[in-house]
Amino acid sequence: MSLATVSTLQSAGPLLFSPDPSADGGAVLFVADVSAARILAFELPAEDRGTVREPRVDRLGAKLASLLGVEREDVVIRGIAAHPLSGAGYLSVARGRGRQAGAVVVRVGADGELSVVELDGLPVTSFELDDAPAPDDERQDAWLDGSDEASQPREFNGITIDLARVPLARSTVTDLAWIGGELVVAGMSNEEFSSRLRRIRYPFDGSAEATSVEIYHVDHGKYETASPIRSLTSFGDSGILATYTCTPVVYFSLDDLTGPGLVRGRTVAELGPMNQPFSIVSYERDGEEFLLVSNTRHPLLKIPAASIAGQPHLDVPIAEPGASKGVPRENLDHPGVTWMAALDREHVLVVQEEDGDVHLRTLSSDVL
């Protein structure tokens, strides 16, 4: 663990706000600096509680390109978070698609105004991940979101997907969540069983619990320890729901993630192959909790949270007769939704692809 007052962000990765702002309106923004294998915790200046908490920006991609002085195709969004007081959106943005792409954080106000967050000079602490894959680790991860310069169209079983093989180190951190008063970090490690969940206390004190995780992949018909979690969210007081490529949804208990070893999650859903999830978030409608999963190929999917507790572990290959796909799900008619963040319990901030660009939208629970 290191402390600093100036920090240069080397790469764009997931970002997340601590849910508890300070008394004066300040908030802590966690940013994953993936290529540097560290988590940065920036203390942002105070923001007022927003009276209008529904940011909206048409042609977000073009406006980000203009703001950053790059071509539209060189703007890659890699994460989104919502300020817990003002409701402003914060975007993790890469200037380019390769390993050397620059990184910025952009604030989107409730009025739709875009501004670069000047991170250098903000109070910041960092947590160094000592279990990250080495740069020369020959293992690779598969990205299906088309965001990397190496992406190429590939056809599998009559379905065309964008596929890039990238060094494992580029998936050291795949998502962040705040669960049980701790920062939970998903990603890949230098261990043989490389898929990992890390529990990190904040304020950082240099200590963490890191556990390798195993899942049963219904579509692949086997247990896997090298499949990276793509997105995760808190579930209940001490639970985690995680999504993976091709697309299992898996429950983990925080109580099981207590350090070295291998923990098996409970697979509760199989959402379909040839797909990579972007985000999983929860919201409430008419007093009932639901989960949303956004995807590269599948529609925006809605899952009733109440169905998860009683769902038995799925451990039968989907190809076998009578195999279950797990909890019920519903396709929603909101095409092109990629990155998502809960704005509050009844609104979700989303990036949505439409008409050749991406746009920032706020979806209320009555349309979900």
Q: What is the pLDDT of residues 136-147, one digit of tens each?
A: 999 999 999 999
Specify the pLDDT at position 23.
Answer: 86
Q: Where are the beta strands (DSSP E) in 133-190?
A: 140-143, 152-156, 159-167, 175-179, 182-188
3-class secondary structure, 335: coil
Peptide bond into 317 cis (omega under 30): no
- Res. 8 pLDDT band, cuts 50 70 90: confident
Q: What are the φ/ψ torsions at residue 68 (nearest 5 degrees)?
A: -95, -5
Which one-letter amino acid corresponds to residue 302?
A: K
Q: What is the pLDDT of residue 52?
A: 66
Q: What is the pLDDT of residue 110?
A: 87
CB-based contact 29:42 (threshold 8 Å)? yes
Q: pLDDT per residue over 40-95, tens digit each?
A: 999 999 998 876 678 899 999 999 999 999 999 999 999 999 999 999 999 999 99
Element (H, E) at 61: helix 60-68
What pTM did the predictor assign? 0.96
